[in-house]
Homo-oligomer: A and B are copies of this chain.
């Protein structure tokens, strides 16, 4: 692991600045090591290669997410303009790097769904087994996603040579060992960082309370297909895309907040496997929701055959079912989740910091 885990001794006397600097140094170092690898990977592969993200890109994404999360959650101890600008640039790189692997995963998901639904394997025959529209729908999805991916690849290739990326790399180089901290960072870690980490958990809980988690925990409630909770602004608007987007948005928000809470716990040396798992489930939710949109969009392609459209309708519903299944998994997990930092805040701060578990790679 490239993070700098706190030992009990170091942690108990560390200032907030010590802890954050150590984390940022480690993650910025990871960023700088992974960047040339990632650039090489993107440049080396043609627009249609199958296996991404490669190791360099994955490591880079990992570091970008953690630095961004840290700057958000513990933003109060950093120089404001610098932190804000850094987050903007990191988000730009995150979106850029995630684009192409996202299309690859979506393609694998949707083509896999068509294959599974139209398969006639004795171990898992699908409801569309041998349907004439299945190969056509598969080819259509493949064509559209390959095109989107090729475009994304060109964009990434171009941006990876941009001055903007070089500026961000310089920013990360400066961050190694020298984060622009405010004076408040000199306070004890427990006194300064815990309230900010707690705020991340409060935001997470508040978001979760707005979600129909109890309903989602009841299987086959129809949440993914029939009972979308339309946001007020969408009410009356007879537009499925808007309704679906409004329905999925708070779950996407939950995913972001889970990631922030995860990274905050990592900074505090207390990673949570429950939050890691929840993040995975919410990632599945996001990908199924995105794939459903792609299927619905493909079905609007002009001049497709009714058989193709029919198969895309089944695939769309199938992906919404995956959305529902992911919400069910979240609804089931939620009550058992650790109550954030509640119990932890009761431990005397110095000892609290010392309870750092063994370092782990997440």
Provide the residues of chain B in CB contact with A127, threshold 8 Å.
224-226, 228, 240, 243-244, 292, 316-317, 320
Provide the residues of chain B in CB contact with A247, threshold 8 Å.
125
A131 within 8 A of B: yes
A76 within 8 A of B: no
Number of copies: 2
B299 and A122 contact, CB distance less than 8 A: no
Within the complex, which residue of B120, B222, B240 is in contact with A129, where a contact is CB–CB below 8 Å? B240
Provide the residues of chain B in CB contact with A224, threshold 8 Å.
127
Provide the residues of chain B in CB contact with A220, threshold 8 Å.
219, 321, 324-325, 328
A 308-325 binary contact with B (CB < 8 Å = 1; else 0): 111111111110110011
Provide the residues of chain B in CB contact with A299, threshold 8 Å.
306, 310
Provide the residues of chain B in CB contact with A328, threshold 8 Å.
219-220
B125 and A230 contact, CB distance less than 8 A: yes
A117 within 8 A of B: yes
CA distance A129 to B120 in the complex (A): 32
* Partner-binding segment picked from A55-63, A158-166, A231-239: A231-239
A116 within 8 A of B: yes
Indicate whether A225 sits within 8 Å of B312 (C-beta atoms), given known contacts A129-B240, A130-B238, A240-B128.
Answer: no
Within the complex, which residue of B120, B237, B307 is in contact with A120, where a contact is CB–CB below 8 Å? B237
Indicate whether A124 sits within 8 Å of B227 (C-beta atoms), given known contacts A220-B324, A328-B220.
Answer: yes
A304 within 8 A of B: yes
Within the complex, which residue of B222, B244, B309, B318 is in contact with A310, where a contact is CB–CB below 8 Å? B309
Indicate whether A125 sits within 8 Å of B243 (C-beta atoms), given known contacts A310-B312, A314-B316.
Answer: yes
A-B contacts besides A120-B243, A219-B325, 18 pairs, CB < 8 Å: A117-B226, A120-B238, A125-B228, A126-B225, A126-B226, A127-B224, A127-B225, A127-B243, A219-B220, A220-B328, A225-B321, A306-B306, A309-B309, A309-B313, A312-B313, A313-B313, A313-B317, A321-B321
- Pick the 6 closest A-B CB pairs, nearest first: A313-B313, A130-B238, A317-B317, A219-B219, A306-B309, A220-B325
